[in-house]
Amino acid sequence: MQFSKHALAAVLAALATAGATPAFAHSEDAHEKKAGPVVKEQKDWGIAGDARNAKRTVEVRMLDSMRFSPEKLEIKQGETVRFVVKNAGAVMHEFVIGTKKENDAHAEMMMKHPGMEHDEPYMAHVAPGKTGEIVWTFNRPGNFDFACLIAGHYQAGMVGKIKVAGTSNAASQAPAQKQAAHKH
């Protein structure tokens, strides 16, 4: 039996309104970030950033309609961003930055192990009504996703897009290319 994204979202919203927790969801316990220094590991989508280097704060709301607001973000390569993620819903949500491939694999694992706990610098697991924070440096250009990987949420379409615009050397190379092409 297949559910449409909207049908699954409606079921989850109905359960949340009724005060029930779906059996396949994460526990309602917030996963607190561990104290101490953040492990900085280069990922395809960047590396954990230092809060003191964040020049911009982006607020993202997580909704029980299985959507993020905003759903699309544009960031410059090299930019360090502080994400303040607010769970405006009645059920647990999370904000996970990654590639589509990485998030697909993680979402599949979450379906098999819905109570799995994880603590990575590119993830915020946020209880209803609470706020989480991620500081991330986007040091590679490309198109990336942010998603809620709680079982059922990702499948219902709780995904946003991040476009990281690369620094362009084309502008500095263009005059040199024109000059080289110019013949007397």
pLDDT at 105: 92
Q: How many CB atoms lie within 10 A of CB 160?
A: 20
Task: Please report, in tens digits, the pLDDT of each residue of the chain (184 residues total).
Answer: 444 444 444 444 444 433 333 333 344 444 455 555 667 899 999 999 999 999 999 999 999 999 999 999 999 999 999 999 999 999 999 999 999 999 999 999 888 887 777 789 999 999 999 999 999 999 999 999 999 999 999 999 999 999 999 986 544 343 444 444 444 4
CA distance 157 to 148: 9
pLDDT at 38: 67
Q: Under a CB-based contact definition with an 8 Å cutoff, are residues 166 and 141 in contact?
A: yes
pLDDT at 117: 73
pTM: 0.72
pLDDT at 2: 46
Nearest alpha-carbon partner for 84 in 45, 51, 38: 51
Q: Under a CB-based contact definition with an 8 Å cutoff, are residues 93 and 150 in contact?
A: yes
pLDDT at 35: 54
Sheet of 142-147, strands arranged across = 72-76, 159-165, 142-147, 93-98, 123-126
Residue 75 zone, left/alpha/beta (φ > 0; ψ -120 to 50; rest): beta
Nearest alpha-carbon partner for 90 in 14, 151, 157, 8: 14
The total number of structural domains in the chain stands at 1
Q: Which domain holds residue 51?
A: 5-181
Can you give the CATH number for the domain in which 104 is found? 2.60.40.420
Helix or strand holding residue 141 (H, E): none
